[in-house]
Each structure stands twice: as C-alpha cells, then as structure tokens.
Amino acid sequence: MEIPEMDASLQSRLQNLFNGATRVTVLTGAGISAESGIPTFRGPEGLWNDYKPEDLATPEAFARDPELVWRWYDWRRGLVAKARPNAAHTALAALERRTAVSVITQNVDGLHTQAGNRELIELHGNIWKVRCTACAVISANTEVPLRAIPPRCARCQRVVRPHIVWFGEAVDPYDYQRSVEMTRSADLFLAIGTSGLVHPAAGLARVAKTAGVTVVEINPDETPQSPLADLVIRDRASHVFEGLNFA
C-alpha cells in the first residue's frame, strides 16, 4: 500500500502534544514491529509449513504436539533475532528519558526493551521467555536455534512452553489492570500500529477517551478505534517519529 507524504501540520500537532504532556501512555501492536522486519502474525508471510498461527498458538495444539509448536516458535525466534528496534522504538525510549512514559505492547519480540524502554508491560508475553508446564517457573531462553525441541525446565526437567498468551487464554489480570491505570493516569495516549481488534488491549483507547485523555492513533489503516482519536496520522510509525524532537 502506498502511503501519502505525511502532512507537516499533523507532525507539528503531535510534537506540540508531546511537548505539553507530563505523562504519556503508548499502546503498540504488530505494525510497529513489522517495520523492523518481523512478519505480522496474520499476514501471508506469517504462515509456516502451511499451518496457520491460529492452529498452532493454542493450549490444545501444544498438548497435542509440543514438538510441532516448538518447531514453529524456533522458526519465529530466528526471524525475531534478526530484527532491531526502528526509529519509532528508539524515539519512545528517548521520550521516556525526558518525561514519564509507559509502554503497553501486544508484541512479544522484546524490541521495546532493546530500544531502552523501562516502564513496559508486555501484555501478550515475551518470545524469549519460557514457562514450565509442571513447576510454572518462568525463565529466559535466548537460544537460536534451540538446542533441544521441546526445551525442558532447568529445575525439574519437564517440558516448558513459550511464555506467551495464546488464543483462548486470558492476559494476566494484574498486567491488564496496570495497563488500565496507566491509561487513565496519562494526559496523552497513543495507539501505534495496532489493529484495534484484539481484546482486552483494543479497549484501552476507549478507557483513555472516557477518562478525558487525548487520544492519538498512528496507523496506515483505519481501525475500530479511529473514531475515538483526537488526532489520526495515517503513516508508518518510524516515518512519523523520525521527524520529531525529544532532545
């Protein structure tokens, strides 16, 4: 899709909103990571060996064939390992050094942490963490490729699973409540590269609007949350943030 040249007046309005904000909360989705070369979950490039992600990222699929699910995640981790934070990631980290910024992400790639954001909620988990199916211990695993499929828990030697929220599973209620509180306490809320279709994150723009928070959407495409936004910028996030100054 060809995106028109960004309107300088929109960028100026966004810069003024940042300059006047004392607390910013940002929700990011797959669009921001796609700019770093990570395939979107539902895009055609997200397919693997003719399997749909929806058929693999479920507790039922893992119970049925953990080796198959882990082979898919091993492939995905290989793609993510090559990615680097883009201009939007690094700008949000730079903004956090200047003012209070909270990032809530639906992405599992860890790019916000790489960029330097510290107040971060990974609402759907992290692809570089694993959780034991027996003792529930969560630990880091950054092997690319994995040495053993499926990998096992260092403590009890039982099979581990990706520490990711799968289809049919609920996000951590504590993380979601913190996300709501961060959204309500902000004076500026941004939805960047998120489809507005996956709940409960999709409801945060409405939470912000109801609380009287200024809402900005940065997305090349219209979404269900577009009507809630006070400012809509139809552009790629990296392009938008390249023109902003957070020094």
Matching residue, tokens 């023109």: 243
DSSP state of 227: G
Tokens for 75?
């492939």
Active site residue 199: no
Catalytic residue among 112, 124, 163, 239: 124
Query: 214 with 229: CB under 8 angstroms?
Result: no
Q: What is the largest CA-CA distance in the chain?
A: 58
Catalytic residues: 124
